[in-house]
Amino acid sequence: MFPNIILLWIAGIAIVSISYYFDKEKTKQGVNKGIKIFKGLSSPFVNIMIIASIILVLVPPEMIEQYLGGDSGFFGVGLSAIIGSVTLIPAFIVYPIASELLKRGASYMVIATFITTLLMVGVVTYPLESKYLGKKVALIRNVLNFFAAIIIGLLIGAIM
Amino acid sequence: MKKYIKEYGFILLFVIFGILSYIYSFAFGIKASKTFLDMFIEMISFIPIVFVLVGLLDAWIPKKKFEKYMGPESGLKGTLLSVIFSMFQAGPLYGAFPIVYILYKKGASVKNIFIFLGCFSSLKIPMLTIETGYLGIEFTLARAIITVPLFIAIGYLMDYYLKNKDFKVTDPTESN
């Protein structure tokens, strides 16, 4: 966690400096836009973290380990794939929760499956998607992505 | 005033709850506050720089230029551009469909449309940056490296399946 953050800041400051060197106006414009996005997202972000921290305290770590841990096997992966497919939460909100679950004993395989299905499969947005792509094509895309997401989850679980 | 209550009311309530928990040694409240504080510090320690980078990306990348080079004859270059173009996007998956419609209108191939859609869902740079901060560079890289070939495969599969099927991307906002 910690070295990653330092790396991010070093890379970030370097990129901002290079950008400033080449184009002051564009850089100012871009940085301002970024700050604006951050301000807009910060309160929903904090709200979701409050809810997550209350739930995480209520749910004992043993339970997380039992249902989402390394020994949960097919059940854990299947459960997280289904939950990931039917929920519609912005990814950036899911990462802090995923990181807390990992610290509390969830396995990489389960977390990776949950994140990938969440990103790639959209049951809630299927009606909208089918308006653009047609019902059949949207269905095929979601089904293919569902299996691709499980493959990704299993492979990450095997690597990490 | 009402707007502020709606936006920050819940946060304020939780802060008061946390302080009271500490004063009266309420174990559950203390635990929840500690968990929240950990998450908050983690967030504030790197999310601001991510969004500054997102803003910069938006100011520098001329997105319009990509659209022209994703047609059926674009070959490997088109595939590569579809992946790169998707990485410079932001927002949830349903925000991708209107872009897909524009790509379709500009003559992008079926294969590239689905590669774009797939990579849009899971390879956006802003998202990858946040992912790196929370889950580590190994996780993020592993996921990205496994994901790209799968989406290229899905692109080819869709292309093959829809070959003689008169596939169209329609814009629901236009028809009615």
Q: What is the mean pLDDT of each run of 10 residues along chain B (176 residues)?
A: 81 93 92 90 85 84 72 82 86 83 87 92 88 89 93 93 87 66
Q: Where are chain A's structural domains? A: 1-58, 59-160
Selected residue with higher pLDDT from A22 and B66: A22
The span from the CA of B94 to the CA of A35, in Å, is 24
Distance from CA of A18 to the nearest CA of B (A): 11
Q: Lowest mean pLDDT of A114-118, A146-150, B86-90, B157-161, name the range.
A: B86-90
Cα distance from A28 to chain B (closest Cα, Å)? Answer: 8
The confidence score (pLDDT) of residue A61 equals 81
Put simply, the answer to whether B10 touches A50 (Cβ < 8 Å) is yes
Helix residue spans in chain B (DSSP H): 2-23, 27-44, 47-60, 64-67, 75-87, 96-105, 110-122, 125-135, 137-161, 172-175
The interface predicted TM-score (ipTM) is 0.82
pLDDT at A139: 95
**Chain A nearest C-alpha distance from B84 (Å):** 17
Mean pLDDT of A94-116: 90
pLDDT score of B174: 66
Q: Left, alpha or beta for A60 (phi > 0: left; psi -120 to 50: alpha)?
A: beta
Task: Please name the member of A5, A12, A99 whose beta carbon is closest to the beta carbon of B53.
Answer: A12
Task: Using DSSP, state whether A16 is helix, strand or coil.
Answer: helix
Number of neighbours of residue B11 by Cβ within 10 angstroms = 15
- Per the CB < 8 Å rule, is B130 touching A92? yes
DSSP B71: S
Between chains, do A8 and B50 touch, taking CB under 8 Å as contact?
yes
SS3 B56: helix
Interval B136-167: pLDDT, tens: 889 999 999 999 999 999 999 999 999 888 88
Cβ–Cβ gap B143/A112 under 8 Å: yes
Average pLDDT, chain A: 88
Give the pLDDT score at B176. 44
Rounded-to-integer distance, Cα B68 and Cα B74, Å? 10
**CB distance B145 to A159 below 8 Å:** no
Cβ-Cβ contacts under 8 Å, B118 against chain A: 120, 145, 148
Using the structure block, give the residue that is written with the tokens 């990450």.
A156
Give the integer Cα–Cα distance in Å for B37 and A49.
9
Rounded to whole angstroms, the Cα distance separating B171 from B176 reads 10
The whole-number average pLDDT for the span A77-96 is 86
Of A52, A47, A108, A45, the closest CA to residue B43 belongs to A45
Q: Write down the pLDDT at residue A15.
A: 92
Query: Which residues are CB-neighbours of A76 under 8 A, at least 6 positions away?
Result: A67, A68, A69, A107, A109, A110
| Burial state string for B91-124 with b = 16 or more CB within 10 A and e = fewer than 16 | ebbeebbebbbebbeeebbbbbbbbbbbbbbbbb
pLDDT value for B150: 94
Q: Which residues contact A7 (CB under 8 A, 6 or more apart)?
A: B137
**How close B77 gets to chain A, by Cα (Å)?**
23
Residues B70 and B81: beta-carbon distance below 8 Å: yes
Cβ contact (<8 Å) for A4 and B133?
yes
Q: Provide the pLDDT for residue A112.
A: 93
What are the tens digits of pLDDT across the range A33-70?
A: 889 888 887 887 888 889 888 888 888 888 888 888 87
The full DSSP string for A93-118 is HHHHHHHHHHHTT--HHHHHHHHHHH
Cβ atoms of A6 and B137 closer than 8 Å? no
Among A37, A54, A57, beta carbon nearest to B55: A37
| Residue A3 or B34, more confident | B34
Option in B42, B57, B122 nearest A116 (CB) = B122
Q: Do B55 and A50 touch (CB under 8 A)?
A: no
Check residue B129 and give its pLDDT.
Answer: 86
